[in-house]
């Protein structure tokens, strides 16, 4: 592989190494966000207590279904739940008590330790879009995603300063058999990026493959002792835990790997049309799922997830960036903090078919709300389009750029003497201007966050340069980032072992497309 | 005029009136927002006290300039300030004490009393873009604004459900002489809309004309006893109060009309590059301006204004929707509330040349922040483009649509028994769906805010319909709104008196273009 070759050559000659260093593209990644601003708390204590009481009622009286999973039913029965068929009714207080063994913060390790992330507390870790079967860009339009697209998105994620995480299924590589594509996806995350990533959840056996590939990458003992994957376990709302997702959760929990336990809710379809009703169901579902993870392995790392969107009652289409989804996200954050659990929600959500104004309004609504609602892990933080059916190349870099604004906002307001700038106000005085004053000269480089995509040029200059809209500017940025991408170094032995594992696994079974 | 004709004819025949009623376009206007959610408070008590102390130091030791305004200097001297040339140094505590006579809430009357607004408290009143010399739309591109454009914007504002206010200079009608255009602008607001509006501030005499036209519209006594205009008085930051703006403020204060006293700050140019420094200057300037309004007339209605944006230090261009501007807006809201004054800030800000993704990201950042920062009067809430140089027809309706989301968000979360939806959760149960359940049927119409512009259709349908982006959908909406616009009724005598006043004033002076 080219990367390994480069490393060997670099080692061989100091001159080449120095040349490589001089020409290396900086792939700076910001540290995960450590908030220095308050959370926005939309719910009163009264509202929170109502939801918590009602959620216990839901678990005790209505219950949840664990489908095709006799082992889970057995675990629940032994823990004191009432089992009727596949229905699990959980006595008041039991689920919350079981959840208390889950850690409040998760350190997810990356193969580059500088890129480890702390998920929990006041932190916010940003990961890209997950799951779309289609991709879209200006040149090629909308089309089924391929492995080549997948690799491009992993490279863009690696190049994005404000993304802390490489994510998981950045798009579905539909040209690879379903039963094998997780291998190629993981190999791409492991070799094309050095940021933390997610494991496969589409079959318990694929979760096991993910663990085994991590054991090659990190070492077997390291994986058992540390969290190296954060994977997405969706709850089949309302209140159904299917065997595939639970099977994957079981594998990860047993191997000390983190799961996001996440209701997947289009309000009005999978949950009531009201905010209070949805929050009640979200809390009941998350408590049941996380309690189950702790039955599998007490102390297993988990994240309180909430994927919530509203519905257009005229057409039945899901809608994004809406005020009701924001209210639910704010409220779920409060509920998660009261359980002392890391919280996953929000993202670059939009229902638009293009990375246009609709997409940006909806996305900005959700990103801002995600920051202020105390989210600790934001999946889908960039690149989401068309209700999650499409990963957009242009929107990926547009959103990723906006994530920089979240970093700056989260820093809060410095109040030290230099920041008070009383000397500058005295120096400039009434009617003066600050552009040349000493305080401005000393601070201007870090004073203002700056978009690397948006255009601030005068109209005339912008016109002469082709009157490009944001999408055109983003197309250019995608190309520039992919053109300048350089693979992060990886030990050649590890690299070869991963490639060999993937090849062997693929050869061990016939292609399957479901 | 056509409108008066229509009214006379309607009066003449009951059948025609009933027909008119049946075919009348609904021009529903939402009530101003009454927040049922908390404000986001970014500054600690310590930070707020530092700013307040430092602002007093600025006023006492550096002072502010009142330019070409001997009367103002005299008022300040008599109040206890130290005057040196045009510099006014205000002893600690004096400005804040003077500000305490300003009312905490302003009722601004509209000619349609259903459209009166309460500016202050937990309310948010939304008004359109103010000031651009250019307009832009998809067909005509960017061009100098004319009176015909102005009238279209007033009509669009009247048709916008989520706009509570008709605004002021929705664009500069550059085809009308500068010394006469305020007359045409006011006539348009008074006759084409029945929402509240703003007065002229470009000369004290034009403020006086505004008062006199309001006396025709509302009656002389009514104007003296009630606030019928809210006008924009910009401070020439740093710390300079020019005679034109102060002259207009004096006219309005004496006539019991409201003024927004508003520093106009591009951070790094008119204020320090730091958030704390800018907030200190903003507070000092606002306190000096509002204190002056209370010297002119104790109890005069005023609004604590803050127009704050950042700068691109590479090009010197102002930038919008940035995190630093958000931090300042949040902080200024806290400072305004501690003075018990209504607060004006935020808006549909963007530096983009097109209503594209950049425009929408930046605008959504600012609109969301405006809602959460406790703004009471949001000027520029829709239609702003290119750093305020351009009023965009498409962006006007796009932004105005998003304002609906702010209304829904501000309602907060209902916690009554029906909202808790426990019956629905029990009815549907694990694995069911909520689309048909009784709770959904009873609530779906009001459950979710719905955009009237965005597209939520499936990709195939959207494609067949022309694969339109948001701008194309907005172009269509602008046309539809203007096509269906119907003038609100106005007493024919008042109408004619206004027209006559404008004609006489115009005839009384030669055209001037400055």
Among A358, A395, A449, A453, the residue to mutate for chain B (most B Cβ within 10 A): A358
Q: What is the pLDDT of residue B15?
A: 52
* Structure-token match 């009652």, residue found: A313
Whole-number average pLDDT of chain B: 94
Please tell me the least confidently modeled range out of A322-331, B12-21, B356-365, B483-492.
Answer: B12-21
Is the per-residue pLDDT at B5 higher than 60?
no
- Taking CB atoms and an 8 Å cutoff, what residues of chain A touch B54? 420, 422
Contacts of B269 in chain A (CB under 8 A): 433-435
Indicate if the pLDDT at residue B25 is higher than 60.
no
Could you tell me which of A425, A417, A436 has the C-alpha nearest to residue B64? A425
CB contact under 8 A, A444 and B313: yes
Residues B458-504: tens digit of each pLDDT: 999 999 999 999 999 999 999 999 999 999 999 999 999 999 999 99
pLDDT beyond 60 at B328: yes
Rounded Cα–Cα distance for residues A69 and A284 (Å)? 19
Looking at residue A11, its pLDDT comes to 38
* Global pTM value: 0.95
Closest partner residue to B269 among A355, A435, A469, by Cβ?
A435
- φ/ψ region of A387 (left if φ > 0, alpha if ψ in -120 to 50, else beta) reads left
Strands (E), B121-223: 123-126, 134-137, 141-144
Q: Do A324 and B280 touch (CB under 8 A)?
A: no
Q: A224: part of which helix (H) or strand (E)?
A: helix A220-225
A23 pLDDT exceeds 50? no
Question: Of residues B49 and B8, which shows the higher confidence score?
Answer: B49
Q: Which residues contact B155 (CB under 8 A, 6 or more apart)?
A: B192, B193, B481, B482, B485
Query: Pairing relation of β-strands A82-84 and A87-89?
Result: antiparallel
Do residue B239 and residue A429 have CB atoms under 8 angstroms apart? Answer: yes
| pLDDT over 90 at A26, yes or no | no
Q: Which residue of B has its CA nearest to A410?
A: B323
Kindly state the average pLDDT of the residues A56-74. 98
pLDDT at residue number A124: 98
Mean pLDDT of chain A: 94
- Provide the pLDDT for residue B315: 83
pLDDT at A20 over 70: no
CA–CA separation, A444 vs B194, rounded Å?
46
Sort out which chain A residues have CB atoms less than 8 A from B318's CB and list them.
Answer: 456
How confident is the model over B508-513, as a mean pLDDT?
94
E strand spans, A138-228 = 141-144
Would you say residue A113 has pLDDT above 60? yes
List the single residue in A239, A275, A321 with the smallest CB-CB distance to B413.
A275
Residues B35-50: pLDDT tens digits? 999 999 999 999 999 9
Q: Which of A34-38, A382-386, A441-445 has the lowest mean pLDDT?
A: A441-445
Q: For residues B212 and B233, what is the distance between their CA atoms, to the nearest angstrom?
A: 19
Mutation target for A interface from B419, B425, B441: give the one with most A CBs within 10 A. Answer: B425
Residue A444 reports pLDDT greater than 70: yes
**Global ipTM:** 0.94
Tell me the percentage of chain B whose pLDDT exceeds 90: 92
d(CA A182, CA A191): 14
Phi first, then psi, for residue B146 (nearest 5°) are: -125, 175
Residue A10 has pLDDT above 60, yes or no: no
**Comparing C-alpha atoms, which of B345, B342, B403 is closest to residue B370?**
B345
Contacts of B385 in chain A (CB under 8 A): none
- A197-212: average pLDDT: 98
Across the A:B interface, residue pairs with CB atoms under 8 Å apart total: 392
**Per this entry, what is the length of chain A?**
514
- From CA A167, how far away is CA A463, in angstroms rounded? 38
Instruction: Provide the pLDDT for residue B415.
Output: 97
Q: Is residue A336 a contact partner of residue A375, using CB atoms and an 8 Å limit?
A: no
Beta strands per DSSP E along A394-492: none
Mean pLDDT across A383-391: 98
Structure confidence by residue, pLDDT tens digits, B419-428: 999 999 999 9
pLDDT band at B3 (very low <50, low <70, confident <90, very high): very low
- The verdict on a CB contact (< 8 Å) between A359 and B360 is yes
Segment (H or E) for B119? strand B117-120
Q: Is the pLDDT assigned to residue B7 strictly greater than 90?
A: no
Q: Please say if the pLDDT value at position B26 is more than 80.
A: no
Which whole number is the average pLDDT over A391-398? Answer: 98
Nearest CB partner across the interface for B57, out of A38, A422, A457: A422
Element (H, E) at A222: helix A220-225
Rounded to an integer, the average pLDDT of A293-321 is 94
Give the model's pLDDT for residue B316.
Answer: 85
Alpha-carbon distance A222 to nearest alpha carbon in chain B (angstroms): 39
Contact predicate B333/B364, CB 8 Å? no
Q: Is the dihedral of CA B37, B43, B49, B55 positive or negative?
A: negative
pLDDT tens digits along A174-184 = 999 999 999 99
Q: Are B161 and B404 in contact (CB under 8 A)?
A: yes
* H or E element at residue A108: strand A105-108
Residue B514 confidence class, pLDDT cut points 50, 70, 90: confident
State the Cα–Cα distance between residues A356 and B472, nearest whole angstrom. Answer: 11
Encoded tokens for A420: 């008070």
Collect all residues with Cβ–Cβ distance below 8 Å to A107 and sequence separation of at least 6: A116, A117, A118, A119, A226, A227
Element (H, E) at A182: helix A178-192
pLDDT over 80 (residue A1): no
In this predicted structure, the answer to whether residue A13 has a pLDDT above a threshold of 70 is no
Describe the strand order of the beta sheet including B390-392 as a list of residue ranges: B141-144, B134-137, B390-392, B384-385
pLDDT of residue A428: 97
Q: Which of A272, A368, A434 sits opposite B268 (nearest CB)?
A: A434
Mutate to test the interface with B, among A273, A383, A474 (most CBs of B within 10 A): A273
Mean pLDDT value of segment A18-35: 71
Upstream peptide bond of A313 is cis (omega within 30 degrees of 0): no
> With contact defined as beta carbons under 8 Å apart, do B145 and B136 qualify?
no
Hey, are the CB atoms on B280 and A422 less than 8 Å from each other?
yes
Q: What are all long-range contacts of B52-55, with beta carbons under 8 Å and residues at least 24 apart?
A: B52/B283, B52/B335, B52/B338, B54/A420, B54/A422, B54/B280, B55/B280, B55/B281, B55/B283, B55/B284, B55/B287
pLDDT given at position A362: 98
Calculate mean pLDDT across residues B68-89. 98
Chain A residue with the nearest C-alpha to that of B40? A40
B445: closest CA of chain A, how far (Å):
8
For chain A, what is the total number of helices (H) and then of strands (E)? 20, 19
Q: By 3-state DSSP, what share of chain B in percent is helix, strand and coil, each rounded to 5?
A: 50, 15, 35
- As a whole number, mean pLDDT of residues B274-303 equals 98
């Amino acid at each position: 592989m080219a990367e390994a070759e480069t490393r060997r050559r670099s080692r061989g000659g100091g001159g080449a190494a120095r040349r490589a260093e001089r020409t290396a593209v900086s792939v700076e990644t910001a540290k995960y966000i450590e908030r220095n601003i308050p959370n926005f708390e939309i719910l009163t204590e009264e509202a929170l207590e109502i939801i918590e009481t009602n959620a216990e009622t839901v678990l005790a009286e209505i219950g949840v279904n664990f489908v095709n999973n006799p082992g889970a039913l057995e675990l629940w029965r032994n823990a004191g739940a009432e089992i009727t068929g596949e229905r699990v009714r959980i006595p008041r207080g039991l689920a919350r008590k079981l959840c208390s063994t889950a850690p409040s913060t998760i350190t997810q390790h990356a193969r580059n330790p500088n890129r480890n992330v702390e998920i929990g507390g006041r932190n916010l870790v940003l990961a890209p879009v997950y799951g779309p079967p289609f991709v879209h860009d200006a040149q090629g339009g909308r089309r089924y995603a391929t492995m080549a697209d997948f690799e491009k998105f992993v490279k863009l994620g690696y190049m994005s300063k404000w993304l802390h995480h490489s994510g998981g299924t950045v798009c579905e590589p539909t040209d690879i058999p379903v039963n094998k594509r997780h291998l190629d996806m993981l190999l791409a995350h492991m070799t094309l990026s050095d940021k933390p990533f997610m494991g496969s959840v589409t079959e318990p056996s694929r979760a096991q493959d993910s663990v085994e590939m991590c054991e090659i990458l990190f070492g077997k003992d390291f994986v058992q002792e540390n969290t190296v994957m954060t994977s997405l376990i969706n709850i089949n709302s309302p209140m159904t835990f299917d065997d595939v997702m639970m099977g994957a959760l079981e594998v990860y929990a047993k191997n000390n790997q983190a799961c996001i336990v996440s209701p997947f809710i289009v309000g009005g379809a999978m949950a009531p049309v009201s905010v209070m009703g949805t929050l009640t169901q979200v809390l009941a579902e998350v408590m049941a799922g996380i309690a189950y993870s702790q039955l599998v392995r007490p102390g297993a790392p988990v994240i309180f997830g909430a994927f919530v969107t509203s519905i257009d009652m005229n057409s039945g289409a899901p809608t994004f960036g809406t005020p009701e989804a924001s209210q639910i996200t704010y409220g779920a954050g409060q509920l998660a903090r009261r359980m002392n659990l890391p919280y996953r929600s929000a993202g670059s959500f939009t229902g638009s078919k293009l990375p246009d104004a609709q997409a940006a309004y909806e996305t900005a609504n959700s990103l801002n709300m995600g920051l202020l609602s105390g989210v600790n892990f934001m999946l889908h933080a960039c690149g989401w389009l068309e209700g999650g059916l499409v990963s957009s190349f242009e929107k990926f870099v547009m959103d990723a750029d906006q994530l920089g604004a979240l970093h700056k906002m989260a820093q809060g307001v410095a109040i030290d003497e230099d920041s008070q700038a009383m000397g500058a106000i005295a120096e400039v005085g009434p009617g003066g201007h600050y552009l040349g004053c000493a305080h401005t000269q000393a601070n201007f480089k870090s004073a203002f966050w700056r978009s690397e995509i948006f255009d601030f040029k005068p109209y005339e200059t912008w016109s002469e340069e082709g009157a490009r809209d944001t999408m055109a500017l983003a197309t250019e940025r995608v190309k520039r980032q992919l053109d300048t991408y350089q693979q992060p170094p990886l030990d050649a032995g590890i690299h070869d072992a991963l490639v060999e594992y993937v090849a062997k696994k693929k050869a061990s079974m016939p292609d399957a497309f479901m």
